[in-house]
Chains A and B, each alone.
Chain A
């Protein structure tokens, strides 16, 4: 009986969370556009513009190109959206545990994000447009480039959590949300963590296809790349996916590296602290997104695909390996 009750609870919590996440992602996307515009001395769109866009697109018909592989073309947006949405079921929000925290960990999150990326690429290839194929090819290339530093960051973090005796499973995000990894290591370790943090921050634009890494979409080169043939509801789904991906990455970075919470301050007020942490969490995500997504995409132009690939494989991977070494030295020489 209790098990069924828990299942229902998780179901409702999941549905509520996902609804909240979609709305917040779109709002954050709107805020991103306004902030981007203000930094360029423009006025920018209303904050709700992404919501209006989605509503408008949702009322339009899907057009499937004659040369497209219809099944994959229609499947791709749904697959991308669902896999991105599922990420949020494994990310703890403030001091609330992740809805499905016991069923999956960081590795799953990375794979879900990769799955949605692959889904986008599949949609591009399936649309039968050479430009979309180029965009999809670029997406895959980019993904292969940033997965390596990303993997190093995650495994190193898990290893540190395990070695430093942080509570919980080393690969679970809750471990990092519950106690600060920055406190767990020494001076050299802090530098190492900083390297890992920066590597992850550099991976963010690639993962979400914005800023200097908007290569798969590159509208002045390949006209929005793999979504060129999409329209109507499918396009709306992709738009939500894009907003969710940057939101998910910001949430991921926040959970891993910014564990600040009110729990310590309001020790006795368990529930109030939890509610405040819940709100604080979104504020943190917002700040992370503003700094590492909006600022990045305002400050830089777009790289070419081989330049981006080299950047990830040489520079960012190097940085993450440096972080890994520093942390190893720190942890092993205790």
Chain B
């Protein structure tokens, strides 16, 4: 007689970066059934936006996700630009593309590291984290922040790329071309990494089509889809990008975790090429259509309609839909769909026939961003009456900082 038992992976789990629950039904170590339950980190961002004007929502949308924050910002901005018919100076478009690709490098490096961590390959994880520092430094140099860059605005960007910065970026591109290859070889030639990732979490091409998988997850299953090609935006209109699929590089697309790893690794190289082309073709001119935010806000107050922004974020396509009502200063409604939202539907398929040991790796293999996927929360008033207010939290942060400074001094 075979007995099955249920084991939860999550909501809080060492192998997961963010809270999501997968209830696995196990027969020994084999997964016979899986039920995914998101919902642990719904924060009500779409609801909050209803009380904020579009400029404020830029900064709110940045906080949807810490990794692909710029993708969300740009997507939201493009949705507003779509409905209000704004144009962006060419230099602004190029700088946006630059940040997008930097973010892709950053996101893929982080993911590659975390995937290694999930299979217990800590050395590669630390190497990946170390590699990632360089692109974070460049982003900080450009925007002043390591995450949540605050660089995009309606009709352009807020920070220019100076010649020194361009030089530092070229330096960074050379650094990655030199240093990233050893990391790739360490992982992709490692027999244990192969044993852990090959044939695990398979999503076939047909299933990827039916389940609307997106981004590297879809491409690893062999689908040649990439919004940078199929609906070019910003500087991708001038810089052609071809989707990276495993069959071009490894003969066949198996749609397993190793393919997802390979696709992301190849995309890092592709991003470096795109970055170089953007830097080469960076045109002169203004980088924002209108610097005065009050004027922008006034024109947005008159705008009415629904706008749809869709871009290729590091994890897949990111969709934002915004509705503004004429005469109303605030965003009327806003819908965010992060790539994870689409890819998470395929999780139960990927779990088929795998083992418990593979589960965290499979969950991580789509590079999930749960806080992207879940955005909204209203309490029913029965919750804990003792809630720390923002002012209190700020005060506590300050006190802690002072304490730490006092101890160090």
- The total of chain B residues at the interface (CB under 8 A) is 32
- Known interface pairs A301-B190, A302-B196; A220-B117 also in contact (CB < 8 Å): yes
- CB-contacts of A291-333 with B (<8 A): 298-307
Contact between chains at B357 and A212 (CB < 8 Å): no
Contact between chains at B7 and A131 (CB < 8 Å): yes
A: interface residue count bin: 20 to 34
Query: In whole angstroms, how far apart are the Cα atoms of A307 and B198 in the complex?
Result: 13
- With both chains docked as a complex, state the minimum distance between the C-beta of A84 and any C-beta of chain B, in angstroms: 24
* Among candidates A134, A299, A301, residue contacting B29 with C-beta atoms closer than 8 Å: A134
The interface centre, meaning the residue of A39, A40, A219, A306 with most chain B CB atoms within 10 A of its CB, is A40
* Among candidates B13, B116, B358, B359, residue contacting A301 with C-beta atoms closer than 8 Å: B116
Q: Which residues of A contact B15 (CB under 8 A)?
A: 219-221
Contact between chains at B29 and A220 (CB < 8 Å): no
A-B contact count (CB 8 A): 75
Q: Is B6 interfacial (CB 8 A cutoff)?
A: yes
Contact between chains at A221 and B192 (CB < 8 Å): no
- With both chains docked as a complex, state the minimum distance between the C-beta of A271 and any C-beta of chain B, in angstroms: 45
Q: Which residues of B contact A219 (CB under 8 A)?
A: 14-15
- Known interface pairs A42-B126, A304-B358, A305-B29; A220-B195 also in contact (CB < 8 Å): no
Interface string of B347-386 (1 = CB under 8 A from A): 0000000011111100000000000000000000000000
Q: Which residues of A contact B359 (CB under 8 A)?
A: 221
Task: Name the CB-closest residue of B to A134.
Answer: B356
Task: Name the CB-closest residue of A to B5.
Answer: A130
- With both chains docked as a complex, state the minimum distance between the C-beta of B47 and any C-beta of chain A, in angstroms: 34
* Among candidates A40, A131, A302, residue contacting B120 with C-beta atoms closer than 8 Å: A302
- CB-contacts of B182-224 with A (<8 A): 190, 192-193, 195-196
Interface string of A210-223 (1 = CB under 8 A from B): 00101100111111
Q: Is B127 interfacial (CB 8 A cutoff)?
A: yes
Query: In whole angstroms, how far apart are the Cα atoms of A303 and B124 in the complex?
Result: 15
Task: Name the CB-closest residue of A to B118.
Answer: A220
Sampled A-B contacts (20; CB under 8 Å): A40-B122, A40-B123, A42-B126, A130-B7, A137-B28, A218-B357, A219-B15, A220-B117, A221-B15, A221-B356, A221-B357, A221-B359, A223-B13, A299-B123, A301-B190, A301-B193, A302-B121, A303-B192, A306-B29, A307-B195
With A220-B117, A302-B119, A304-B358 given, can you name 17 additional A-B contacts, CB distance below 8 Å?
A: A39-B123, A40-B122, A41-B126, A212-B120, A214-B120, A218-B120, A220-B118, A220-B120, A221-B360, A222-B356, A223-B14, A300-B121, A301-B120, A303-B196, A304-B195, A304-B357, A306-B355
| Interface pairs A-B: 7 shortest CB-CB | A302-B120, A301-B121, A220-B15, A40-B126, A301-B119, A301-B192, A304-B357
A residues neighboring B (CB under 8 Å): 39-42, 130-131, 134, 137, 212, 214-215, 218-223, 298-307
